[in-house]
A and B are shown apart, each in its own frame.
Chain A
Amino acid sequence: MTVHTLRWVAVAVAALVAGCGDKPQQNGDNQVVLIGQVSPLTGPQAHLGKDNENGARLALDEINAAGLTLGGKKIVLELKSEDDAADPKTATTVATKLVDEGVAGVIGHLNSGATIPASKIYSDNGIPQISPSATAVAYTASGFKTAYRVMTNDAQQGSVLGTYAVTKLGAKKIAIVDDRTAYGQGLADEVEKAAKAAGGEVVAREYTSDRSTDFMAILTSIKGKAPDLVFFGGMDPQAAPMIKQMKQLGLQAKFLGGDGAQTPKLIELAGADAEGALASNPGLPLDAMPGGSAFKAKFEAKYGKIQNYSPYAYDAMHVLIDAMKRADSSDPAKYLAELPKTDYQGATGRIRFDAKGDITGGAVTLYQVKDGKWQTLETVHSGN
């Protein structure tokens, strides 16, 4: 609590001080354009946050090295990286700080929970924002003209999962459980819709909470309906005991989960029972990305091991600057109009946006636990 408050105050003071600086900075004949990057750089997700920062910085350094000229002026890009600690409140504070510093665009944030409140601040100030990793549908559903993402959203993931369960896994009867969170319920609803559309039958729709560990009652009820597959929309602390209890009850159905279940923790918690469990994650594994190996070589030479989303942060930066080039301006009011026309071949694949700012045909990769490890099954692109 106190640490939290202190950090908040510190950030607010820093924002005030920084806000006093003059906005258009000159560096010799070159004009400096600031680009913001926000991710949790402290706390349990710091490794992921640093990874995003490095991905964005790699792209920025490449663009600077190649030379950028906008409106007849030589431009030098400068990265302003901020820490939102994956906290919604801190996210709005640093977003305000970046706006006050006069950034021309923002790559971030990492978590949906932090991205959504910050997106209002960028929208109010007309600053374009591309998130490399936020998946919650709500981020682009607010109708903000400045909100974009290069990552598959939860609705796209759910729709891929529902179709996949019926067509590829051959499940005719499907039981669906969700944890009543915005994430779990949203994902489960999309799975249900897609599974029905693909000709599957949803024989049971059960609910639990994100604190439960006992699913015996609902699984017993599900067992009575003899499904081929149980889909769970929720996180690993629930998915793991659910898998164990399915085994205990002798429920012979496949287990399928979303990205909340596709974690090393699931295997740790469910032990040997995890074997054969299926789950998905939005995006592509590195070796399946068209520019994956080239990115890996460049990234690892500078920053070491890739954690997760850095290829997406790298592409997000390129997409942002690409729009500036087409508008021949770093003025957000001018280049924002170019973002919807994006058609960029990035390291993660071809990037285009739909009317809401979501990536079209977002990739979803399916994994299965084999020999105590998540093994890649295949990557599917969503229909939109």
Chain B
Amino acid sequence: MDIFLQQLINGLVLGSVYALVALGYTMVYGILELINFAHGEITMMGAMVALAVIGALAMAAPGLPGVLVLGAGLVVAIPVCMALGLLIERVAYRPLRHAPRLAPLITAIGVSIILQNIAMLVWGKQYIPFPDVLPKGRHEVLGAAITDVQIAILLLTMSIMLMLILVVQKTRLGRAMRATAQSRQVASLMGVDVNRVIASTFVIGSALAAVAGVMVSAYYGLAHYYMGFLLGLKAFSAAVLGGIGNLGGAMLGGLLLGLIESFGAGYIGDLTGGFLGSHYQDVFAFFVLIAVLVFRPSGLLGARVVERA
């Protein structure tokens, strides 16, 4: 039972990070029907920028409390990633908006390679340690351990997701986003500044990616120029699993993927008597993804809902 609970916690924490990144994919897809493959790299950039700030702060003022240092890292990383998202949209996607759909997909991959290489040139190929500034509290709940960092990740992602839903459902910008998602042409005829709405989507998605990047590097204690690739791939899969283009679907897909991976890796060996080991955890996760897509090609919540944004 304690093992089960522990795997549940592991899966939820992992899944909420996937969900946060998946939201960025799904928002852009909802509006542009474009898969922004550079999104994983924006996450990486967020982690790297925050680490640079945190490293500099930890050097300059070693006495500062950890939460404050981390906050400073976030405060710098979020605008940097927002600007980056804006720039990518302006340079790589907007000029190709009326081109065949394959063209922006290729520039997306190009941008992702460029960002990886920039990060490699600036920060090197080495893994960069996250300074030991965070509180190390652990709590035992029914035999399972949960750390302060894990609790913070869960609370932060939940509140960010709630905020995002509120923005999309209740604000003018959100309404413009939903309108643009339904029909770009009609929305612009109704006076919606489509370019502004699309740019805002990228900015919001990039801000979420920055938060996710900082969380991942704080949680695992390291960052690396290549970290965005795998994270992006998993988050993209989560978005597809939940139904790409659907906000709730991205959240559900992220959490599900985290749980599947966690329980898969944890139990697959014991359940098959050691025949399949934990190296099948990704196989298992993607098997579930394929099975879902066979029966529901548009993902779990991916019916053509009006609210997609």
A interface, CB within 8 angstroms of B: 44, 180, 204-209, 211, 213-214, 216-218, 220-221, 223-224, 236-237, 240-241, 244, 248-250, 265, 268-272
Contact = CB atoms under 8 A, between A and B. Distances in A.
B3 A214 contact: no
State the majority secondary structure of interface residues on B: helix
A265 B265 CA distance: 27
Interface stretch (B24-32, B87-95, B205-213, B267-275): B267-275
Interface stretch (B170-178, B220-228, B291-299): B220-228
Contacts of B222: 213, 237, 240-241, 269
A249 B7 CA distance: 11
B220 A221 contact: no
B129 A269 contact: yes
Contact of B278 (A207, A223, A240): A207
A214 B216 CA distance: 10
Contacts of A269: 127, 129, 221-222
A255 B14 CA distance: 24
Contacts of A271: 129, 131-132, 221
A221 B3 contact: yes
Contacts of A236: 127
B6 A249 contact: yes
A249 B221 contact: no
A269 to B, nearest CB: 5
B281 A217 contact: yes
B159 interface: no
B41 interface: no
B70 to A, nearest CB: 15
Contact of B147 (A207, A241, A248): A248
A22 B266 CA distance: 65
B130 to A, nearest CB: 9
A48 to B, nearest CB: 16
Contact of A218 (B14, B140, B266): B266
Contacts of A272: 132
Interface of B: 3, 6-7, 10-11, 13-14, 125-127, 129, 131-132, 138, 140, 145, 147, 150, 216, 220-222, 224, 226-227, 230, 261-267, 269-270, 274, 277-279, 281
Between A180, A211, A216, A265, the greatest number of chain B beta carbons within 10 A of the residue's beta carbon is seen for: A216
Contact of B221 (A224, A241, A250, A265): A241
Contacts of B224: 237
A237 B127 contact: yes
B3 A224 contact: yes
Nearest to B277: A207
Contacts of B264: 217
Nearest to B267: A221
A177 to B, nearest CB: 9
Contact of A220 (B127, B138, B140, B266): B266
B278 A221 contact: yes
Nearest to A216: B10
A211 B10 contact: no
Contacts of A211: 226, 230
Contacts of B278: 206-208, 217-218, 221
A248 B145 contact: yes
B14 A240 contact: no
6 contacts: A217-B7, A217-B266, A221-B266, A250-B138, A270-B221, A271-B221
B284 to A, nearest CB: 11
Contacts of A213: 216, 220, 222, 227
A209 B261 CA distance: 14
A218 B274 contact: no
A237 B277 CA distance: 22
Contacts of A44: 125
B131 to A, nearest CB: 8
A268 B10 contact: no
Contacts of A237: 127, 222, 224
A265 B127 contact: yes
Contacts of B265: 206, 217-218, 221
A66 B157 CA distance: 72
A265 B221 CA distance: 13
A298 to B, nearest CB: 33
